[in-house]
Amino acid sequence: MLATPEIKLLQGFCHVNFGERLDEVIKVFGNAEEIQELEDSILNTSTTVYHYWEQGFSLFFDNNRNRAFCNVEIDNRDAVLFDIKLFTLKEKDLIELMKLKGFGLSDIETHEWGEKRVSFDSAGLDCYFENNKLVSANFGVVEGNDNFYFFPN
């Protein structure tokens, strides 16, 4: 079991950097409870998702880039961002924190089913709110204009 899940924007998750190979990531997090393959023929993407349901996160690996670790979806209430428990933040507080850290708000969209997405594109972060409570966050590498990923050094 993971101690405290730490979100490291544009870098990685906990002690694993984006760009790491699948086998290296599994050494850290262990075997997933479920593995899912996602294909999108329109965007020409192929992704393998390792779901760690009990720990409250899923790890995404880009099959077109040798299964490089590229994204995390998390709903673990203990997750920290900038040493703050992310899921305790209200939308306004999240926007202010991100601004303070140099990441401006990119977009807000309310879906027809009621979920609200708050995006910070320069940080590779999307946060999802329902009934004014943060319910999940998605973060990962940032794609350049030519579909080139920027992995940390």
pLDDT at 3: 75
Q: How far apart are CA 81 and CA 94, in angstroms?
A: 10
Tokens 């290296």 sit on residue: 24
The domain segmentation of the chain, as residue ranges, is 6-139
Q: How far apart are CA 108 and CA 95, in angstroms?
A: 11
6-8 and 80-81 as β-strands: parallel, antiparallel, unpaired?
parallel
Calculate the CA dihedral of residues 131, 57, 35, 150 and round it to 10 degrees: 100
pLDDT at 149: 45
pLDDT at 144: 61
pLDDT along the chain (153 residues), means of 10: 86 95 94 94 88 96 93 97 96 96 95 91 96 95 59 41
The burial class, CB within 10 Å (0-12 / 13-18 / 19+), for 121 is middle
- Bridge partners of residue 6, in order along the sequence: 80
pLDDT at 40: 85
| pLDDT tens per residue, range 38-62 | 988 887 889 999 999 999 999 999 9
pLDDT at 135: 96
